[in-house]
Amino acid sequence: MKDGVAALALGAAFNPLASAAGSIACAALAGHPRAGRTRVAWGWAVLVLAWLAGDGVRALAFARAGWAFVALWGAAGFALGYALPAGAGVLVGHRVTHGTGWLSAVVVAGTLSVALSTVADPLVSGLRRVAGLG
Per-residue pLDDT of 76-117, as tens digits, reads 999 999 999 999 999 999 998 777 888 999 999 999 999 999
Task: Grade residue 1 by pLDDT with cuts at 50, 70 and 90.
Answer: low
Position 90 scores a pLDDT of 94
What is the C-alpha R_g of the chain?
A: 16
Read off the pTM: 0.87
Domain positions in the chain are 2-39+46-131
Residue 78: name the closest of 52, 115, 114, 108 by CA: 52
Phi, psi at 65, each rounded to 5°: -75, -10
